[in-house]
Amino acid sequence: AQRVTQPEKLLSVFKGAPVELKCNYSYSGSPELFWYVQYSRQRLQLLLRHISRESIKGFTADLNKGETSFHLKKPFAQEEDSAMYYCAPPMNYGGSQGNLIFGKGTKLSVKP
């Protein structure tokens, strides 16, 4: 089945260190993937999307077709980045039938 996979359940880094949250996908072509974030006691919300080629809160994510990856990266982690991060599949991909199955999530903990 087509899906996104997050291999790490927990990632712990020190403030100022680079961080990379891994996401691999099994869709063909150039899927429009997303990263969502859930800060403590806040709603799950969109962080960034592939199509926008944007940098949000210092985070970027590049689609690597060769490695079928969409890893989320930030060069210098901050304590306020501590949150749960979810890689999300394409919203309207042919054959998905709307069953949007997110990655299992990676909990990022940034220590002072």
Q: Which of 59, 63, 81, 90 binds another protein (CB under 8 A)?
A: 90
* Secondary structure (3-state) at 79: helix
Using rule CB under 8 A, residue 40 touches another protein: no
Q: Which of 71, 103, 108, 110 binds another protein (CB under 8 A)?
A: 103
Site stretch for another protein (CB under 8 A), options 13-21, 57-65, 75-83, 96-104: 96-104
Least CB distance to another protein at residue 21 (A): 13
Site stretch for another protein (CB under 8 A), options 11-19, 21-29, 71-79, 93-101: 93-101
The H or E element spanning position 38 is strand 34-38
Residue 5: C-alpha distances to residues 16, 51, 103 (Å) = 26, 19, 5
The burial class, CB within 10 Å (0-12 / 13-18 / 19+), for 4 is buried
